[in-house]
Amino acid sequence: MTPLIDVAGLTKSYGRKRGIIDVSFEVIAGEVFGFLGPNGAGKTTTMRLLMALLYPDAGSARIGGMDCWRQSVDVKRIVGYLPGELALDPNLTGGQILAYFANLRGGVDRVYLQALIARLNLDPARRYRQYSHGNKQKVGLIQAFMHRPRVLILDEPTSGLDPLNQHEFGRMVAEVRGEGRTVLLSSHVLSEVESACDRVGIIREGRLVRVGAVAELKEIRRHEVDLTFADEPPADAFRDVPGIERVERLRGSRTLRLIVHGDIDALVKAAGRYSLTALVSREPSLEDVFLRFYDDAGASRQDADRVVS
């Protein structure tokens, strides 16, 4: 299938400061793609490059088959964009801002626009400067969605939204996906990415370190298993069990916490040789996977310290 967003070898630096390095990924039509990464990793730079607000040092980016720089005006006809930091005229009301951007886009479906305003419970009669952070974000979201773009590029879309509106936003994204439209979003709310996105790209220090389906990423998961023994815990007994990455005795208890990579079958069989009073296994969240990518060096050092041998 032809990708709707096609990024290849995209590189951008800000003088001596790193931006992004050789970032490549594709997003197909009808897909919701999540961009994960800590502050300064390069998520916003990538999105601003796609919106032709920045020019790349190397690489290419195409949306709908069009070059993001050479055909930027045509690209922007099919894209709705929410920047990470909204800066709008503080003297205009929310309604005036939406009317202005609707006119710049050559008009929008007013019924749909009113529906978006109602869904996010925005008061369009207030001046932008009088809005709370969350309400400003709603103005940004509505202007990104209001012309029913084929592609939505949303930089931290739920920032400042209350849980109810975050939920409503999730439903809006699901509807967009249901209509075969495409979303590229960045977020720090990993549970949101986990539930909303089909695929995720993890960016670290300007490089895309992993791209995969949410399910795929969770495949590389580690289980956290707590074994509580009737007698003194036999820590050494699990050292050679396949997949064991870390064994730790919880202070003041007969419980061992084990971090297992992959299948836990061998561990359960090994534990069966002992008298157990409890076995608790926790599913790793996407957050755990994400943190692993960012804490590899530190985690390995900690592992060495904490392994009971």
Partner 1 sequence: MTTRVRAARMRTVWFHSVFLKTLRDCRLPIFGWGLGIGTLVPVTFAGVSIVLASAAGREDILALTRNPVIRLFAEPVSVETAGGYATWRLSMLLPMLAVWALLAVSRVTRGEEELGALDVLLSVSGSRSRVVVEKLAAIAAALILIGVLIGGLALAGARLTRVELAPHRAALFGLNTTLFALVFASAAFVVAQFTRERRPAAGATAILLGISFVLTSAGRVIAGGEWIGRLSPLYYFELNKPLVAEYPVNGGGLVIMAVTALVLTIAGLALFARRDIGAPYIVACSHVRDRVPSQALPMASWSLRSLMTRHARGVAASAGWWALAVGLYALLLTVLLRQIQQNLRDLLADLLRTQPQFAPLVERFTGGGDTASNMVFLNAVFTVLVVVVVAFAASLANGWASDEEEGRLDLILATPSARSRVVLTRVAAAALGLTFVTASILLGATLASALVSMQLDLRRVAAAAFAMVPIGLVVVSIGYVLAGWLRTQAVTGILTGFILASFALTILAPLFKWPDALLQASIFEQYGTPLVDGPHAGRVLGQLGVATVLIVAAVIRFTRKDLTR
- Pick out residues in 108-127 that bind partner 1 (CB under 8 A): 110, 113-114, 123-125, 127
Contacting partner 1 (CB under 8 A), which of 48, 138, 181, 223?
48
Residue 52 within binding range of partner 1, rule CB under 8 A: yes
Min dist CB 61 to partner 1, Å, is: 14
Q: What tokens appear for 69 in the block?
A: 């720089």
Judged by CB under 8 A, the stretch of 33-41, 104-112, 224-232, 234-242 that binds partner 1 is: 104-112
Min dist CB 91 to partner 1, Å, is: 8
Residues in the chain: 309
Rounded to the nearest 5 degrees, what angle is found at the Cα of 260, between the Cα atoms of 254 and 264? 90
Min dist CB 93 to partner 1, Å, is: 6
Give the C-alpha separation, 5 to 181, whole Å.
12
Number of residues located near partner 1, criterion CB under 8 A: 43
Q: Chain-centre distance of CA 144, in angstroms? A: 18
Amino acid at 58: A
b or e along 146-162 (b: 16 or more beta carbons within 10 Å of the residue's beta carbon)? bbebbbbbbbbbbbbbe
Give the C-alpha separation, 199 to 4, whole Å.
14
Residue 105 within binding range of partner 1, rule CB under 8 A: yes
For residue 263, count other CB atoms closer than 10 A to its CB.
11
Find the helix or strand (DSSP H, E) in which 309 lies.
none
Judged by CB under 8 A, the stretch of 71-79, 213-221, 237-245, 249-257 that binds partner 1 is: 71-79
Min dist CB 50 to partner 1, Å, is: 10
Tell me whether residue 186 is exposed, middle or buried, using C-beta atoms within 10 angstroms of its C-beta: 0 to 12, 13 to 18, 19 or more: buried
Give the C-alpha separation, 90 to 299, whole Å.
46
Amino acid at 123: D
82-101 mask for partner 1 (x: CB under 8 A)?
Answer: -x-xxxxxx--x-xx-xxxx
Q: What is the DSSP string of 66-106?
A: EETTTTHHHHHHSEEEE-SS----TTSBHHHHHHHHHHHTT
Contacting partner 1 (CB under 8 A), which of 58, 104, 115, 213?
104
Judged by CB under 8 A, the stretch of 27-35, 72-80, 219-227, 293-301 that binds partner 1 is: 72-80
Contacting partner 1 (CB under 8 A), which of 2, 16, 55, 272?
55
**Comparison of 95 and 234: residue with beta carbon closer to partner 1:** 95
Inter-residue contact 201 to 31 (CB < 8 Å): no
Judged by CB under 8 A, the stretch of 80-88, 186-194, 269-277, 286-294 that binds partner 1 is: 80-88
Give the C-alpha separation, 111 to 49, whole Å.
32
Contacting partner 1 (CB under 8 A), which of 103, 132, 191, 195?
103
**Comparison of 49 and 227: residue with beta carbon closer to partner 1:** 49
Min dist CB 72 to partner 1, Å, is: 8
- Per CB under 8 A, residues contacting partner 1 are 14, 48, 51-55, 72-74, 76-77, 79, 81, 83, 85-90, 93, 95-96, 98-106, 110, 113-114, 123-125, 127, 129, 140, 143
